[in-house]
């Protein structure tokens, strides 16, 4: 298998890395800049979490453009859909962690550094009402799908496991989630 080949044109401007390669997308198809998504997710109070969500949103947008603009082979289609599903789950988990952490901080309670997605979902639905029952059920199914990143845990063949319909449902639910929380 071929390895990744990184080229560095300018040590001080990382945006110019790999600029000697073919451009994948025309300028009008580039993902929005991270600053756009930082504003889009402005209800996330932790700056680092908000920035990481912004980067994941860029990646999500990139994957959607990749799928929509290029012929994707069947196995790669399924795995690209898997990446979209996993990415949306990570974004929701990060946002919920921030929201619950902020709420606990206001109440004078420590959050701790690690809380699993299941616990976050319980707190977000039952205690803080950040999500409704429908979103709670959806996120539990999303959590289960994310757990299948471990290939040994899968009892199916990856080339047929994930569909564009499932990925689109996750993208729609991500926006629904964000819209309920934006201030």
Question: Is 98 in contact with 106 (CB distance < 8 Å)?
Answer: no
pTM assigned to the model: 0.89
Write the CA distances from 138 to 46, 58, 148, 172, integer angstroms.
25, 23, 16, 11
Which has the closest alpha carbon to 5: 26, 20, 25? 20
pLDDT tens for the chain, 183 residues long, are 999 888 887 778 887 788 888 888 888 899 999 999 999 999 999 999 999 999 999 999 999 999 999 999 989 999 999 999 999 999 999 999 999 999 999 999 888 766 789 999 999 999 999 999 999 999 999 988 877 765 655 566 777 788 999 999 999 999 999 999 986
> What are the tokens at 87?
């990415």
């Amino acid at each position: 298998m071929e390895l990744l080949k990184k080229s560095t044109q300018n040590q001080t401007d990382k945006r110019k890395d790999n600029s000697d390669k073919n451009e994948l997308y025309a300028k009008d198809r580039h993902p929005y800049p991270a600053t756009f998504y930082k504003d889009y997710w402005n209800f996330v109070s932790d700056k680092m979490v908000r920035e990481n969500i912004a980067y994941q949103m860029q990646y999500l947008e990139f994957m959607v453009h990749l799928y929509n603009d290029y012929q994707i082979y069947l196995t790669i289609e399924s795995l690209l859909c898997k990446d979209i599903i996993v990415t949306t789950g990570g974004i929701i988990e990060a946002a919920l962690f921030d929201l619950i952490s902020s709420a606990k901080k206001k109440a004078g309670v420590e959050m701790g550094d690690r809380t699993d997605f299941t616990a976050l979902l319980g707190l977000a639905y039952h205690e803080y009402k950040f999500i409704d029952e429908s979103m709670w059920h959806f996120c539990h199914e999303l959590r289960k799908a994310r757990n299948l990143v471990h290939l040994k845990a899968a009892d199916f063949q990856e080339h047929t496991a994930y569909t564009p319909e499932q990925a689109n449902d996750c993208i729609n639910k991500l926006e629904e989630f964000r819209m309920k929380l934006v201030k």
